[in-house]
Amino acid sequence: MFQDLEEVISEMEGSDITLEQSFDLYNRGMNLLKQCSKTIDEVEKKVLILDEEGETHEF
């Protein structure tokens, strides 16, 4: 997913794409970004913090 987003960014940075292609890539990138953000949120909910007493707590 993150690699797909990097590919979209690379394509958008190219100078040989049309405005329509740029718009399509932008929309695809935004959808990928939403998916990445959702995945990160889910992972953060699973991360536990170890306190000084050795007990775990949710992040």
- Ranges assigned E (strand) in 1-59: 48-50, 56-58
SS3 32: helix
User: What are 39's two structure tokens?
Assistant: 């995945």
CA trace torsion 43, 31, 16, 19 (10° rounding): -150
- The range of the structural domain enclosing residue 41 comes to 2-58
Number of domains composing the chain: 1
User: Hunting for tokens 């932008």 — which residue is that?
Assistant: 26
Report phi then psi at 56, rounded to 5: -100, 145
pLDDT in tens, the chain (59 residues): 889 989 999 999 987 899 999 999 999 999 999 999 999 988 877 777 766 677 776 66
Read off the pTM.
0.68
